Structure 1
């Protein structure tokens, strides 16, 4: 970080004092991240966010007084910030409830300090992230919800169906479909840009249009959507 760059402002909430102190120490050790404050439960996290207006809020899910999921709903209903859920539990219901509440990231506490810091940067840049261990769960749950929603809903496309022939993404331009297909591989904006020979900011613009046209909340939902409909590019070398 240069002298003119402003560090990312973070709020942390966890009901385990040692975990909270450890997270704060890890993130404060990063030159481009500043922890504004910590909270032992969701209610105090909501109050702390209102006072400090951070760029990113990291919330544990299981906390007394108010859960991280409920705190996410209250925070995002009143503030422009990004939320990352941090949890020990690989539970699909926690994952889906977090995404429905508006969280942009879902990370397990088994992540390394480097992965945690990079996750904060990713979410702060406007992208979404999902612990790799939970990706398959998200795709499976999304497919089950589509199949149980009755006739008239999009069904999963066959694996060999081309992006261009998928009627469920008809509103998308060819370039938007290309970007979505690459995002489904878990690539970052810069990596997608390198593969498609366009700039990272252009990729970000295309992804924003994809979310708007498909009425999706964030990039994680877009990835699940892409897998449901067979919109996946060849894996990078």
Structure 2
């Protein structure tokens, strides 16, 4: 039974290191409201297991044999119904950015404390960003202007000026309040902090974020943040 039907959050673990998968299974098995429904050792297996188990959240490593986590994340998110959170280290900025543009909802470092991993899975399932503000700014800033980013981010525009023009055209579809919410998302703020900043209820913020994603024709908050950074607003 899925989380949407009142059951536990269903999680898929994807990592080529069985020790990592074992540790994650132990961490996620403690609270009782999360169930690990499958494991995979590479991207090819991950796509197949995701299709068979329909998880709410997939935790996906970046570097794996046969098929990497980025292409697997792209296919899993395209199928719909599963949020993808990338597992990474600080040395993999480019790969993480490519995964975010491919539709992943965020990332976790492999040394993230257990309680934060559990919280991140719950946030991802609820559509919240799984990105700390400081690291989000660092990674997204590299995506929109960093050296070499155009070579590693699939579908990136050919240059900074073109990137900014496209982003500004997209943002022109937003109303004033929607634009304020989009900028706050670009800063990596969760809904509760956005509500406090803009004097809005959390439920109202969620509604605005959904409208912003619809207007910008993107699938998640990370992609909203990238548009905002492309436009130079953060």
Same fold, judged at TM 0.5 (above): yes
Among 176, 186, 196, which residue is 1:174 paired with?
176
**1:97-138 deviation line (CA, Å, top 9, x unaligned):** 202221111221121112211111111111233354353132
Match of 2:225 in 1: 223
State the shift of 1:223 in Å: 2.0
Partner of 1:98: 99
Equivalent runs, 1:67-82 vs 2, <5 Å: 67-82=68-83
**2:200 alignment partner in structure 1:** 198
Cα deviation, residue 54, structure 1: 0.8
Corresponding position: 1:126 with 2:127: yes
Higher share of residues assigned helix:
2
SS, match of residue 119 in structure 2: helix
Contact 1:95 1:138 survives alignment (8 Å): no
Structure 1: state its 5+ residue gaps: 158-165, 233-237
Q: How many matched pairs?
A: 221
Whole-angstrom CA distance in 2 between matches of 1:150 and 1:16: 38
Report if the CA contact (8 A) 2:108-2:131 is conserved: yes
Could you say what secondary structure the match of 1:11 adopts? Answer: strand
Cα RMSD (Å) of the superposition?
2.8
Residue aligned with 2:164, SS = coil
> How far does the alpha carbon of each residue in 1:67-109 deviate from its partner, in whole angstroms, 9 at most, with x for none?
1112112222334211011023532320222022211112211
* Secondary structure, aligned partner of 1:84: strand
Listed one character per residue, the Cα deviations across residues 157-187 of structure 1 (whole Å, up to 9, x for unaligned) are: 9xxxxxxxx8873321111122123223322
Stretch moving more, 11-20 or 110-119? 110-119
SS of corresponding position for 2:91: coil
| Partners of 2:157 and 2:42 in 1: CA distance | 37
C-alpha distance in structure 2 between counterparts of 1:11 and 1:110, whole Å: 19
Structure-2-length-normalised TM-score: 0.81
State the 1:226 CA deviation: 2.5
